[in-house]
Amino acid sequence: MNSQPRRGSIALNPPDCTSCMLCVKECPDKCIHIESHPVVQETGGARPVTVQHLDRFAIDFGLCMYCGICIDVCPFDALAWVGQSTPSAATGSGSLMHEMDQLATGWNSSDD
């Protein structure tokens, strides 16, 4: 914990996200977008369990203030700082709306 990386960008580990929406609710300028649908799982227990399947997780880095509240509130540590700054986006060739796969790429590079 004492080696917190500098606030470059924010990465997501999709398998750890439960679509609980806490980050979406706590984000001061509402730059996180989550879409999910319920999936009923038979666990062999007394009754089936309904979980949320994550369909979309996107952060609008054009809006993000890099406050880190989403990282702080995530109960499952599915979000983390990565050291590299979010790349700039040129009109026509890029977007600051980073979707799940792009956010996950950042997570993999943060393990280095």
Partner 1 sequence: MQDTTPVAVVVDGQPVHLWAVEAGLACCGVEYAAATTLISQLQAQTSIDLDAFASGDSDSANVLVVSGTVTTALAPYVVALYQRMGPGARVMSFGACAATGGPYWDSYAVVDGVDRLVPVDVYVPGCPPSPEALIDGLRTLLLDVRA
Binding site for partner 1 (CB under 8 A): 8, 28-29, 60-67, 85-91, 93-94, 96
Provide the minimum distance between the beta carbon of 5 and partner 1 in the complex, in angstroms, as a whole number: 13
CA distance 11 to 59: 9
- Shortest Å distance, C-beta 83 to partner 1: 10
Residues in the chain: 112
> How far is residue 56's CA from residue 59's CA, in Å, rounded to a whole number?
10
Closest Cα to residue 32, out of 52, 53, 54? 54
The least distance separating partner 1 from the CB of residue 7, rounded to whole angstroms, comes to 8
Judged by beta carbon, residue 19 or residue 98, the one nearer partner 1 is 98
